A and B are shown apart, each in its own frame.
Chain A
Amino acid sequence: MSTIHHQNVPTISPARRGLLLAALAVLFLASGSAQNLPDVTAMSVEDLMNVQVTSVSKRTQKLADAAAAIYVISQDDIRRSGANSIPEALRLVPGIQVARIDENKWAISSRGFNGRFANKLLVLIDGRSVYTPLFSGVYWNDQDVMMEDVDRIEVIRGPGATLWGANAVNGVINIITKSSKSTQSALLTAGGGTEMRGFSNLRYGGKVGNDTYFRTYAKYFNVEPSWDPFLGQKANDDWDSLQGGFRADWTPSGPDSLTFQGDLHRSPYGETLTVPSLNAPYSNTYANEGRISGGNLLGRWNHTFDKSSTSLQVYFDRTNIVENTLFTDHQNIFDIDFQHTFHASDSQEFIWGLGYRSIRDSNDSSFVVSLQPDRNTLNQFSAFAQDEISLLDKRVQVTLGSKLEHNDFTGFEVEPNARVLLNITHNQSIWTAVSRAVRTPALTEEGLQLNSVVIPPGGPGNPTPLPAMVSVFGSNQFKSEDMLAYEVGYRMQVTSNLSADIATFYNNYTHLRSAEPGTPFVEVDPTPVHLIVPLTADNKMSGGTYGTELYADWRALPKWKLSGSYSYLKMNIRKNADSLDPTADDPGLSSPHNQFYVRSSLDVFKHLEHDLIVRYVDQLPGLNVPSYYSVDTHFSYRVPAGIEFSVGSENLLNRRHLEFAPDFINTSPTEVRRTIYGSITWRPEK
């Protein structure tokens, strides 16, 4: 057991320590090497141990040096922003589009193609992919973690397919929780507000034997329904969630370490659903209830050799989606991954890996949504290799690698990349990359029938005497979507208190999904007799997107940090000449051209922190969503005995605004309101 004996250790007075810590803060502002550093030699070991250093773990440092557009949200960022969910935290990432559809649905994407069923972003929680094979996207209302236990969220904009595989097309989000060794204290949070009626998080950490640490947690929240601007009444999008889990880390002194973790969750939610009907008035709008539940278990074994390391990870994930009257689906995913990193020579780090994933799906269809076959097993195999080569005294770093995957829909897929990073001077670097990524078909793209709308007989668009139902079909001819990405980025540490990061990209897409009309036919079952106007999934859209993302970080004063981001996106995606897709909307009209934010983080005085963020999101003409500003503010105040008070408000300026509109499944979007919330956190001191 490690023990820390404070009692016998002479310490410097609190006043002097305060001065030194302040001096240390000043240093981070002191620009250039000519200036004087604070005298760290006057600080005791205890004091040094209490200094927060900005740099995060080795892996992240490595990512920060990576030839990719990367941004890391720290635990401190999450805490200071008051973010209570993963989507809220992701609003802090430059260039990521986060839009709330209703209280329990989000559209989140990187570099365009946003939607509730957005399919070009890969999301991992502690190495477990949370990407649903149903539509190649993420059920954001199914993804929750104890926000206090998050170590960091790493976000890569652009392709990451060589390392992470198919579907890491436009971005990768890695949510990484702390080791249970770092969450040994107990924690209790309780709060509520005008949007989240109440929430409570509870964690307990402990130790078994000498080198096994664990934590268990439980959290609950209850979200009040918001406002339906179309019906002019309170919406039905209430939501509550109960989740619990554990993590255990065995870290003996030897070369091995083991992690074992799992979660169980259940969250019922509401929505206002509009579905087509074959009888007049040909559509029904009603309040629908759904429920997502599930659980997962993950084990990871790391082993360090003299000059290399291996990692073996296995997980099992079960998800149950019960959307009453719409669709029921149960999925069991088993995944095993092996990875080996070694130094091929002084200047080369080689990493390779193998993976296998099995997906078993069973579903029950409804009149609106049906998926064939109703039982399905998919197998995916993958292998990758990547070499990182340092040249010219580590000034140049070249990364070459590729992934080879096999899936049941399209067979083999190859996803290579080449990246170069050049350190121009000690405080400036430039990088460039060319990569290929694919988005492999999802279950729905192969076997879906979605009855989206019924055109009344004799009305506009339907001269026949039969109701005409527009139905979207999957196709076993559907291919992978392809992307070739070209990226250039530049990073500069202007002074020790000012840094800037610019990333620009051009992505060229081919074989994007389109919906090709087929010959209408008469169907007698279900009754009444009706026409089916089929739209079948095909790959007849293509085009390019380009854009830039800027981020700058300036510590204006020792206790005041300003950061800001601006991103620009232009999408030129069109249907091919041979496509007859009548629904082919320009996806550029549902992704914001311009987004920016400015964030201020101020330590008002000791223990009182204030954060303010002003965000702007451009209009989405394709969805009739106007541009909006949002001002969010958060105060936190720490008092002795491990108690912290937190008060905040979101969307201070506007009373209400719309952020997005749903696609495919016609649920009513709701407006984001001005909200006020508060909470108390207690971390009992040991």
Chain B
Amino acid sequence: MFFVLWDNDHLAMQVDVMMRRLRLLIIIPALLLAGAAPIAQAQDASTSAEYLVKAGFIYNFANLVQWPSTAFSQSDSPIVIAILGEDHFGTTLDRVLQDKKVNGRPFVVKRLKSVAELLKSVAELKDCQILFVSSSEMPHLSEAMQIVKGIPILTIGETPGFANRGGIINLVLEDNKVRFEVNVDAAKQADLNISSRLLALARIVQQGPADGRKTQ
């Protein structure tokens, strides 16, 4: 079965119980932050409606997804968003999120050119909460998913099949509107709690057999 009919309240409760249980089991990854994040090269791309709307979605996701406390080093640590691959946002995302806060946390946007760079900065991923995977990196998606495995990081994609292949949220264009898919299992594995309000609007997808993994 591909889609699952969710009962919101029931689901929220289920996820909550699961999260609490998981939290106890989580071993804090012994990854230390090393070096400063590569400063985003402010690319001056012209604003596109699509990416402005996607930026709006990212802000909303930051609001409606709950990270485990281990995901942040301090209570006012920023929410770090890394854009992996070709950056179509230009400066849009930086400008949209400028001076914005979610639960007292400001935003930091950085850019990673390739999966190779992602691998190099794996130590910094502990302090990264959102990874936006550009469609340019889809050929290397499996590697990228392997790198972030077990880290409480919200992976957001924009290519068909992203959520089926282990990504958590996939933004898809349908009739010129932005819709999104959520892979609930992937969210659970990353120890993220997605609000039922968001799930209610999402198309729920499960891991595809492409990954060679069986799901419930």
Residues of A within 8 A of B (CB): 1-5, 8-10, 24, 27-28, 30, 33, 37-41, 43-46, 48-58, 74-76, 178, 181-182, 210-211, 252-255, 304-307, 343, 346, 394, 426-427, 493, 495-496
Contact = CB atoms under 8 A, between A and B. Distances in A.
A254 B90 contact: no
A52 B96 contact: no
B46 A33 contact: yes
A309 B114 CA distance: 21
- Nearest first, the 6 closest Cβ-Cβ pairs linking A and B are A40-B56, A53-B50, A2-B203, A255-B210, A343-B139, A5-B200
A306 B146 CA distance: 13
A7 to B, nearest CB: 9
A24 B52 CA distance: 9
B115 to A, nearest CB: 9
Interface stretch (B1-9, B29-37, B119-127): B1-9
B173 A304 contact: no
Tier of interface size on chain B = 35 or more
Contacts of A5: 8, 200
B139 A48 contact: no
Interface stretch (B20-28, B67-75, B174-182): B174-182
Contacts of A343: 139
B97 interface: yes
A427 B1 CA distance: 45
A427 B90 CA distance: 11
Contacts of B205: 253
Nearest to B175: A182
B197 A9 contact: yes
Contact of A211 (B3, B59, B139): B3
Contacts of B198: 45
Contact of B95 (A1, A37, A51, A55): A37
A493 B177 contact: no
Contacts of B49: 24, 27-28, 51-55
B92 interface: yes
B66 interface: no
A346 B138 CA distance: 11
B208 A253 contact: yes
A310 B26 CA distance: 41
B56 A55 contact: no
Contacts of A305: 210
8 contacts: A5-B8, A8-B197, A28-B49, A41-B100, A45-B60, A55-B48, A307-B139, A426-B43
Contacts of A255: 161, 164, 208-210
A8 B8 contact: yes
A52 B59 contact: no
B91 interface: yes
B193 interface: no
Given A40-B53, A40-B56, A45-B198, A50 B177 contact: yes
A539 to B, nearest CB: 46
B86 interface: yes
Nearest to A54: B49
A40 B96 contact: yes
A52 B176 contact: yes
Contacts of A45: 57, 60, 64, 197-198, 201
B177 A51 contact: yes
Nearest to B143: A306
A33 B59 contact: no
B208 A306 contact: no
Interface in B84-134: 86, 90-92, 95-97, 100, 114
B77 interface: no
B156 interface: no
A178 B175 contact: yes
Given A50-B177, A343-B139, 20 more contacts: A5-B8, A27-B49, A33-B44, A40-B53, A48-B56, A48-B178, A53-B50, A53-B53, A53-B178, A55-B49, A55-B173, A55-B176, A56-B176, A253-B208, A255-B161, A304-B161, A306-B139, A306-B141, A394-B86, A426-B45
A100 B5 CA distance: 52
B113 to A, nearest CB: 9
Interface in B171-216: 173-179, 197-198, 200-210
Contact of A41 (B44, B59, B200): B59
Contacts of B55: 40
A8 B1 CA distance: 26
B161 A30 contact: no
Contacts of B92: 37
A41 B63 CA distance: 10
A211 B44 contact: no
A171 to B, nearest CB: 25
B176 to A, nearest CB: 5
Contact of A3 (B5, B46, B179): B5
B3 A210 contact: yes
B3 A493 contact: no
B161 A37 contact: no
Contacts of B64: 45
B46 A52 contact: no
Contacts of A46: 201
B16 to A, nearest CB: 17
Nearest to A2: B203
A302 to B, nearest CB: 10
Contacts of B160: 58
A41 B55 CA distance: 8
A1 B174 contact: no
A419 B135 CA distance: 23
Nearest to A5: B200
B5 A54 contact: no
A40 B44 CA distance: 19
Contacts of A495: 46
Nearest to A50: B177
Contacts of B44: 33, 426
Nearest to B48: A55
Contacts of A50: 177
A280 B157 CA distance: 76
Nearest to B91: A33
Given A9-B200, A54-B176, A253-B205, A43 B46 contact: no
A76 B60 CA distance: 28
B74 to A, nearest CB: 23
A228 B140 CA distance: 64
Contact of B210 (A49, A51, A304): A304
Nearest to A48: B56
A53 B176 contact: yes
Contact of A43 (B56, B159, B197, B204): B56
